[in-house]
Amino acid sequence: GMTIAAEVIPAAHYVGGDFFFVGDGANGTTVMAVGDVVGKGLSAVRRSAFTRTALASVAPFSDDPCQLLGWVNVALVERIGESSEFVTAACMTYEPRSRLLRLAAAGHHPALRLASGAELTAERTGVALGLAREVNCSASAHRLMDGDGVLLYTDGLTEARGERTRYGIDRLSALLRERAQLAPQDTLEMLKRDLRKFAGERLTDDVCLLVLRA
């Protein structure tokens, strides 16, 4: 089996374009993704909604997350044209019986393993969605152990500002290692509490978190 929890934490003073998607994929897989639309306000919200809808429409047709991102990119470019208002995204497919996880990224940073806080990278990270006709990515494959898990997140988390520093990947990785046994929803709540403690009301970018545990 598997457990998934996901949430978008809004920025303090504006609407952003972060989103997540969870849906049924091909060949018994579940498709999961997080994305971050460059820019703010209504245009970012519209692009976010379009990207998520495009992903929902193609999800049932492939268990290759890189192919899914490629199809979404075609939809974006055909609708809006190649644009500087691009979308970074990470997409995973997971098949619970074999515990096979496949990970692809388009202009997006690596996922993190819950147990170690270590980066989980795609075979080749493609360009962000909407920038060019081809994403040119390649997915990596990972076999999850029982209880193993993965965090997808947007950069509003690691780039959140505290009084003197940014939140950063080191703090995030250490926190995941310390609390490696938490259930996905508890992991989300723990990260939200720590982010609020660190950034207070200074959250200037929205944050999307998605946690999968095998």
Nearest C-alpha neighbor of 33 from the set 124, 102, 116: 102
Span 66-79, average pLDDT: 96
Over residues 82-130, the pLDDT tens digits come to: 667 899 999 999 999 999 999 999 999 999 999 999 999 999 999 999 9
Report how far residue 31's alpha carbon sits from residue 93's, in angstroms, rounded to the nearest whole number: 5
Question: What domains are there in the chain, each with its CATH number?
Answer: 3-213 (3.60.40.10)
Residue that wins the pLDDT comparison between 11 and 56: 56
**Of 77-86, 140-149, 192-201, minimum mean pLDDT range:** 77-86
Q: Which amino acid is at 28?
A: G
pLDDT the model gives residue 43: 87
Give 65's pLDDT tier (boundaries 50, 70, 90). very high
What does the longest C-alpha to C-alpha distance in the chain come to? 48
* 202 has a pLDDT exceeding 80: no
Q: How many helices (H) and strands (E) does the chain have?
A: 4, 10
Sheet holding 3-9, edge to edge: 3-9, 207-213, 149-153, 111-113, 119-120
pTM score? 0.96
Phi then psi for residue 5, to 5 deg, are -135, 140
Contact 91, 208 (CB under 8 A): no
